[in-house]
Structure 1
């Protein structure tokens, strides 16, 4: 008799524990949410109004700018997916004919630095163990290089305006 009671208690415990696991499994399936961490960065320096107006006709810069602006709020996956396109656009910008006012070594060097960071981000796609922090760091460096380029272009336009004003 004790064996039968013991056996019934064991079976009851087994059934109750299995039922709880099934219920937990159902709620997990219903609430399945794929969530990626958003990487938020900002571009420190944008082009001044005068510089932006002058560079409207430089299509390669405008195309690269549109992708770079999207890197201010992105995910690791999206950033790496767009890295090939970004590196191609920045390379196109570097190889294009520059507007005369910014066809200077100090501007071209900053474009080269921007290209290096875009290529580095593109290379990260092939590394399966790359962490979110490493991608976030590289995006920060990429946007800092872009900001530096914008800052230099603004400085060139300010110098040009100053020289025109006092000549």
Structure 2
């Protein structure tokens, strides 16, 4: 992301969530939002829980790992930031889109994948092999174990987008579950 302008105002919680704490608060709350919901962001001690997970490197650069609402909690109790795994496939040959979702029974990870050339079985095989290669460098609980191939990117269907035109992870997860019988095991 970049360097923090005011590093003293940012705190990292044990789970890597970013809290903003300033002498003069940026905001006192949300207008028209239920107080119970707002209390999850605007904490009693004046801190703001951003909902973002991140790391600060030795040079002071912030890297965002993902959002709290996108975190996948596996049946084992382990938590996975899907954006971290998806980033490993950014620009990978043959992959137009890869979205990490909870896999079968919620104990493993799956993925919805749109190859560059939909319907090309040879390309699907190469994509599956690329996923296996990336998996080899990941902790076992972070590996993608099954893939559902799609003909079009999720963003081509408004049913998979939020009002802000961002990917709806709950919709993607439901789609994966509906198509689980078509999944390719890795």
Decide: shared fold, TM above 0.5: no
**Structure with the largest fraction of strand:** 2
How would you bin the TM-score normalised by the shorter chain?
A: under 0.3
Greater Rg over alpha carbons, structure:
1
Greater relative CO (CA pairs within 8 A, separation 6+): 1
TM-score by length of 2: 0.22
**Structure with the largest fraction of helix:** 1
